[in-house]
């Protein structure tokens, strides 16, 4: 069965970076995209960016441009999201989600979420 | 960015009720809209994609409609497990924005 398993919770200081992993199983990794979505406490879901797990193309929300990088390790069927220059406003649960490479989009499987806490 | 606005932000309903949630986009998104259900502490779950297509395994009491800027999610015959938050998301363009959510609570 399809599974996306994310790395564990992180506590970071302001100004630091965090790297969250998302390991896929149960399907051909390179036939789909991986999207990253975050949710701050009590807030709406917020889309951050995505990677085509086939050719490695990426697109990011302009809000995070320059601070976020999404990469993949095809041999490990794993996608990574790195967010730099963390501030308290980056405290959130970060999710990865699988999507098809061609429309219509459907985020049909999600990781369990990774809580990132930014605190001095 | 395309703004997604849901209404209401919360509602109280009873088991067996018919519930409709509305999502409005700030510009036309054709039928590029998903609906998700989220329970506390859990990841979102896809219910509807492409505005009206029911995701595999999702009960048929959930239905979606609309195109352009106005969309609806209807739950026909609310069940105890349906009390949750619901989010719409446009997938027409980047960034793929979400609505603010609608919390469905027990009356």
Q: Pick the residue of B9, B96, B98 with the most A CBs within 10 A to test the interface with A by mutation.
A: B96
Q: What is the CB neighbour count within 10 angstroms for residue A39?
A: 20
**A103: pLDDT strictly greater than 90:** no
**Over residues B83-101, mean pLDDT:** 97
**B106: pLDDT strictly greater than 90:** no
- pLDDT band at A63, cuts 50/70/90? very high
Shortest distance, CA B39 to any CA of chain A (angstroms)? 12
Name the percent of chain A lying above pLDDT 70: 100
Shortest distance, CA B9 to any CA of chain A (angstroms)? 11
**Over residues A67-87, mean pLDDT:** 98
How far is the C-alpha of B100 from the C-alpha of A64, rounded, in Å?
Answer: 19
**Over residues B11-18, mean pLDDT:** 96
**Over residues B82-104, mean pLDDT:** 97
pLDDT on residue A80: 98
Shortest distance, CA B61 to any CA of chain A (angstroms)? 19
**B107: pLDDT strictly greater than 90:** no
CA-based nearest residue to B78, from B105, B101, B39 = B105
Question: Position of tokens 């949710």?
Answer: A39
**Whether B34 and A35 lie within 8 Å, measured CB to CB:** no
- pLDDT band at A85, cuts 50/70/90? very high
Q: What is the CB neighbour count within 10 angstroms for residue A53?
A: 23
Secondary structure, 3-state, chain A: CCEEEECCCEEECCCCCEEEEEEEECCCHHHEEEEEEEECCCCCEEEEEEEECCCCCEEECHHHCCCEEEEEEHHHCEEEEEECCCCHHHCEEEEEEEEECCCCCCCCEECCCEEEEECC
**A24: pLDDT strictly greater than 90:** yes
Q: What is the mean pLDDT of chain B?
A: 97
How far is the C-alpha of A84 from the C-alpha of A39, rounded, in Å?
Answer: 17
Q: Is the dihedral of CA B104, B30, B32, A60 positive or negative?
A: negative
**Over residues A47-63, mean pLDDT:** 97
- pLDDT band at A119, cuts 50/70/90? very high
Q: Considering only alpha carbons, which residue of chain B is nearest residue A49?
A: B95
Nearest to A45 among B46, B49, B98 (CB): B98
**Over residues A25-29, mean pLDDT:** 98
**pLDDT by residue (tens digit) across B25-73?**
999 999 999 999 999 999 999 999 999 999 999 999 999 999 999 999 9
**A40: pLDDT strictly greater than 90:** yes
């Amino acid at each position: 069965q399809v599974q996306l398993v994310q790395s564990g919770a992180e506590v970071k200081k302001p100004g630091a970076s965090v790297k969250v992993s998302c390991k896929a199983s149960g399907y051909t990794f390179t036939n789909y995209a991986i999207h990253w979505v975050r949710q701050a406490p009590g807030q709406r879901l917020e889309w951050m960016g995505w990677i085509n797990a086939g050719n490695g193309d990426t697109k990011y929300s302009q809000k995070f441009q320059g601070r976020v990088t999404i990469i993949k390790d095809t041999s490990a069927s794993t996608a990574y999201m790195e967010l730099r220059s963390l501030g308290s406003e980056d405290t959130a649960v970060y999710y990865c989600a699988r999507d098809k490479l061609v429309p219509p989009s459907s985020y049909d499987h999600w990781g369990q979420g990774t809580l990132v806490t930014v605190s001095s | 960015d395309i703004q997604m606005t849901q209404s209401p932000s919360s509602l109280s309903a009873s088991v067996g009720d018919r519930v409709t949630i509305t999502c409005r986009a700030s510009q036309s998104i054709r039928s590029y809209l998903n609906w998700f259900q989220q329970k506390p502490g859990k990841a979102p779950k896809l219910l509807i994609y492409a505005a009206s297509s029911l995701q595999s395994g999702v009960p048929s009491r959930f239905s979606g409609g609309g195109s352009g800027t106005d969309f609806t999610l209807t739950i026909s015959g609310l069940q105890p497990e349906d009390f949750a938050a619901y989010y719409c998301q446009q997938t027409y363009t980047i960034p793929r924005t979400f609505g603010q959510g609608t919390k469905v609570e027990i009356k």
